[in-house]
Structure 1
């Protein structure tokens, strides 16, 4: 049996009606998801819940809410399959799916203001970026003054505007915005799936992929958004590129709507997450090559492949135009030769997970079983199902990316393939959902449509979904624990234990604003405690590590400059060195205090070692700042040194 292709109707006006209807449903779904997540998170915040890592209460409440959400999703599937109350069933599926996201992430985090992973490592620079774009809508680098952003600003810009409208600090808005954006992406994926497959199947596959992304991709929320949309986008792309029909219509293509939709998705991916864009663009390229070969075979010459090339060029052009919304400033600086040589180390990371091919279908777990079903289905339906072809080509693209990443290590770089494991799980999980439906139908037919067999199959599927969903908080336990143990922007730890040094950041901020001025984004602060920049929108002189630093900033050159300052003998020499810098000099330095002097703990790239970062300490003599042109203030474990305006 062959899947019906996703094609445009014959009448010229019909595609526009269909596109308008799809856009309308997307807008409605977004509104429903936004309301559900907002109301849910607000309600969670009105109750004094115990910390997740010290009590099982929040897990219990989470499970109850998940059961309710899954039951509502099951009801919507039943109604859609029976074609009863279709509009109401659609709205119910949107509300239930966004409710599943809100309960699964929001309830375990209900007693903390921080999101998964707290303000630690990667989440630190993500929060810093959101804080920067909350302070101003201008496309500015998360750390460095006078530079355009290197990391795509799309997700952070939207979140910054939301936080600004709500009057929230960036760090405080991160959790509700992350959860809300994942809920919105989940229902958008559901609407897109509904345009590609039967509505009841769409709810099933969207629920499966949402659960997988919640478990394995939610700590990186801007990536989770793209991961949820990628599988239906690849099915859409294959529909735009691959031959359809039989006989004299065999070489016809889908309407331009699918090509435009694919280009828009790739463009949005470019504004959200560069790595996922790379994988998605590579997968679409693989599809284009495969489609061209099929067209050539059907038409007898390569001329028959010209429509494929035309669609591919249009997709690329649309994606590039959308990408320029956030990439134009950085691209302009790169094209004018402002990138220091050897400054980019973002791809200098090779953990064990990136040194071998992931084979989740052989893991003894529920997700492993789903991936195994999906793998069998992809292979078995490769010649008869366009969905299987699209998802299968996506899986092939992921594995080719892994192999290329491992090969690139010879050249001193990687392609960060380890971060694509969640994409592989989502693709195989999508296939697994379709496989479960097909296998259930075959089993039912083999037993002469015995109603007891159908009930057993439905029960097995429902219990499997519940078992996986209720275990998601356990999968995320390390990330949840950090959200409770890290010190938030109010100087508190949600688990009620003594806060860390970050509890003094408020006092440090008061010193800086009183001595420099109230507009934080006017000043450059050098500090090794870069989480300070995640809470307050000062610009930094140096980033956490070179891997998160803007290549235009010359991380290595700045580190060398900092080390050289510690060797100077007078304030005159230090100020002269600052005046000679090719970058904006620090207006203030936030040191740690030690018996030897004032210290900064810096980092350098030591790839290919794993860990890939070496920490080292630079110590400044206290006498270097014993000068009227500097003001020195002690704040807890910190020493704040500000440069007088006239110095």
Structure 2
């Protein structure tokens, strides 16, 4: 009687696979934690050392630029040494540690050295940086999630970056405005170090160093003024590759093309096909959730790209197997569920309040259409070093998109930027935009990542003909890296100049020239405290000098513009109320109007002196789709409105400070 064939036993294999997956995930998390620690240590030590020296101002001296170049070259040399040590098979753990140290140091020296003589970050305390500093000040004053300006409202702007920075400021006793620069540089450094870990978990360490330093340099040049955007931007390329591999992981083919030289990502290639890729799916969900608490535009773009990936996979499989076509959509649903759960930690308070509270119907953050938002951008056609590497990346994507997971993921990311841009132009018909111009740094970073891989693969192909190719390619690559890196301070020069010419919270300028009217803010704050006797976070201020709210955690009655205002604040109705006060003639009328407001009324008025015995505020109105998208106008209050014992009026420098005198309790 023939013996029966034994049925396959999957238990031990699946158990071993699950164990391997768990070890791989833990190893990745451990290395990411190490990367964060290294980045923080390097940033803190370096920034502290830089701050101890009296440097000349960057706009008026080339010394800081020269020292920045020296530091960059030293870091690049260190990365070359780390790559060589790994390639030689010696001291590999030390090579990884050195890689983390030198990419972190590169980031710190590129931003920290040019800013060495000022306490302000890029773009100083002007325009966008004004409301960002205000947000950091708010979350330094309290760990509770609040709107940056309006009392009693949940945050509309994602608070993640600001909350962590605020906690760091509160823990160290540093003023929030002063913490902005070190936290911005440190946070970008952390993201760069984590990006290196993500890359080396997927590809050979030497190539991970190359693509990380290339994308870091471009991110620092074009995205660093917005630090939380820079963090997501530098992490996007490896996360898109990881997400693409996770979405398509149930396909029969092995995804060895994720890695160069067949060095593959264990979470993608190990185990049964039905179970492959779930670690990548979970990682993608965590990243999107993190981005949702960080920056709305980039999480929207990232979600759009991931959705596009899933739809392309489903469409390509539909003809062969409907069941197989549904798998990417199931994985997409898991990503969405994880991201929503994480994002809800900051978005849920706003959404619950907006469900029953009135929302402003005019003005929004999307009401902005500069020239860059009206055209498609093609960095690969620029006659520059950046244009050359982007062109190489474009060619590599075209050739390798179907055969390489890396190329496929980056190609979809690039395609998504252009689709997003076209959709943004179309949404102007609905009197809004998708702010596509802000994705230009993202596009450049994706193309540079592709260009790095293209450069490596081209050099490898040519090296089969001659051994001299690799040294030549290395020399060209190193020269290009130095040339681009040393130009970053010049790219950032306008933002650096403002960091030195704006007046900081101590009433000083980084270029040591006479400060502007902000030098009176400390006296104004002291006067408010003397009259009200209340904590700052219990006082509402009406002012057009919004940087005052950036330095001190008072609440504002009205925001800078409707584009930065919480929709729950009803910006347009508040503006109408302010304008109506200009028609009043007596203090009694004014106080009655204040007491009837549907919002907590201002008790402090910080104004400028006008003509004909008036006090003025310079406010803003949304005039989109016109460009500029904001119209400034002046509101004049009669001085008689404040000529009453119920107000204390002082002139401090160019300011008129009127404080409503607290009513003594019975």
In the alignment, the residues of structure 2 paired with residue 247 and residue 439 of structure 1 have an alpha-carbon distance, to the nearest angstrom, of 25
> Shift in Å at residue 328 of structure 1?
1.3
User: What residue in structure 1 maps to residue 355 of structure 2?
Assistant: 335
- Structure-2 separation of matches of 1:292 and 1:9: 30
Q: How far apart are the structure 1 equivalents of 2:644 and 2:355?
A: 43
Q: CA deviation at 1:301?
A: 3.0
SS of 2:201 mapped into structure 1: helix
SS in 1 for 2:468: helix
1:392 Cα offset (Å) = 0.4
Whether the 8 Å CA contact 2:79–2:103 is kept in 1: the answer is yes
- Of the candidates 630, 634, 642, which is equivalent to residue 647 of structure 2? 630
For residue 401 of structure 1, what is the aligned residue in structure 2? Answer: 420
1:543 aligns with 559
- Within-5 A mapping of 1:43-122: 43-122=49-128
In structure 2, the residue matched to 1:308 is 328
1-side partners of 2:244 and 2:275: how far apart?
10
Deviation readout 1:227-248 (Å, 9 max, x if unpaired): 0111111111101111555479
Query: Hey, what's the Cα distance between the residues in 1 that align with 2:86 and 2:392?
Result: 24
Q: Distance in 1 between matches of 2:382 and 2:366?
A: 28
Q: What runs of 5+ residues in structure 1 fail to find an aligned partner? A: 1-7
Q: For 1:222 and 1:248, locate their aligned partners in 2 and report how far apart those are by CA, in whole Å.
A: 36
Structure 1 residue 9 displacement after superposition: 11
Spell out the pairing of 1:126-141 with structure 2 (5 A cutoff). 126-141=132-147
Deviation at 1:28, TM superposition (A): 0.7
Instruction: Please state how far the C-alpha of 1:344 moved relative to its aligned partner.
Output: 4.4
> Structure 2: any 5+ residue segments left out of the alignment?
1-13, 256-271
2:659 match:
642
Instruction: Give the superposition deviation at 1:404.
Output: 0.1
The reply to whether residue 362 of structure 1 matches residue 381 of structure 2 is: yes
User: Which residue pairs with 2:506 in the alignment?
Assistant: 490
Q: Distance in 2 between matches of 1:247 and 1:41?
A: 48
Structure 1 match to 2:337:
317
Using the TM superposition, give the Cα deviation of residue 553 of structure 1 relative to its aligned residue in structure 2, in angstroms.
0.3
CA distance in 1, matches of 2:198, 2:104: 15
Q: Look up the SS of the partner of 1:546 in the other structure.
A: coil
Deviations 1:403-449 (A, max 9, x none): 0000111111100000000110111111011111011111212xxx5
Instruction: Tell me the CA shift for residue 583 of structure 1.
Output: 0.6
Match of 2:167 among 158, 161, 173: 161
Distance change >3 Å, CA 391–CA 425, structure 1 → 2: same
Query: 1:272 aligns to what SS in structure 2?
Result: coil
Provide the C-alpha distance between the structure 2 equivalents of 1:603 and 1:489, rounded to a whole number of angstroms: 24
- Residue deviations 1:200-237 (CA, integer Å, cap 9, x gap): 11111011110000000000001001101111111111
- Where do residues 274-293 of structure 1 align in structure 2 (5 Å cutoff)? 274-293=296-315
Query: Contact 1:241–1:254 at 8 Å: present in 2 too?
Result: no
1:309 Cα deviation from its structure 2 partner: 1.8
Change over 3 Å in CA distance of 1:341–1:121 after alignment to 2: closer
Tell me: CA distance 1:247–1:267, structure 2 relative to 1, closer, same or farther (3 Å). Answer: closer
Check the 8 A contact 1:163/1:173 in 2, yes or no. yes
1:645 is paired with a residue of what secondary structure? coil
Q: Deviations over 1:522-570 (max 9, x none)?
A: 1000000001000000000000111000000011111110010111111
**Which of 176, 179, 193 in structure 2 is aligned with 1:173?**
179
Q: Does the alignment pair 1:437 with 2:453? A: no
Structure 2 equivalent of residue 5 of structure 1: none
Task: Kindly provide the CA deviation profile for residues 131-158 of structure 1, in whole angstroms up to 9, marking residues without a partner as x.
Answer: 1001110100000000011100000000
- Describe the shift of the 1:399–1:481 C-alpha distance in structure 2 as closer, same or farther (beyond 3 A): same
1:387 is the counterpart of 2:406: yes
**Residue of 423, 446, 466 corresponding to 2:482:** 466
The equivalent of 2:3 in structure 1 is: none
TM-score (norm 1): 0.96
Deviates more, 1:249-258 or 1:277-286: 249-258
Q: Say if 2:21 is the partner of 1:18.
A: no
| Displacement after TM superposition at 1:594 (Å) | 2.3
Partners of 1:279 and 1:81 in 2: CA distance: 37
Q: Distance in 1 between matches of 2:305 and 2:584?
A: 54
The match for 1:205 is 211
> Separation in 2 of the partners of 1:640 and 1:351?
37
Shift of 1:295: 3.0
Cα distance, 1:83 vs structure 2:
2.5
Alignment coverage as a number of residue pairs: 634
How much has 1:518 moved relative to structure 2? 4.6
Whether the 8 Å CA contact 1:67–1:466 is kept in 2: the answer is: yes
- The residue that corresponds to 2:438 in the other structure is 419
Q: Which residue of the other structure, out of 242, 258, 263, is the alignment partner of 2:248?
A: 242
**Aligned residue in 2 for 1:256:** 278
Q: Contact between 1:520 and 1:537, CA under 8 Å: does it hold in 2?
A: yes
Give the drift of 1:293. 2.0
Distance, in Å, in 2 between the alignment partners of 1:271 and 1:9 is 36
Name the SS of the counterpart of 1:176 in structure 2.
helix
Offset of 1:12 from its aligned partner? Answer: 1.4
Structure 2 residue matching 1:599: 3-state secondary structure: strand
Tell me the distance in 1 between the aligned counterparts of 2:199 and 2:57.
37
Aligned residue in 2 for 1:349: 368
Helix, strand or coil: the match of 1:631? strand
Report the CA distance shift for 1:205/1:248 in structure 2 as closer, same or farther (over 3 A). Answer: closer
- 3-state SS of the aligned residue for 1:424? helix
Q: Distance in 1 between matches of 2:415 and 2:92?
A: 36
RMSD: 1.6
**CA distance in 1 between partners of 2:358 and 2:101 (Å):** 47
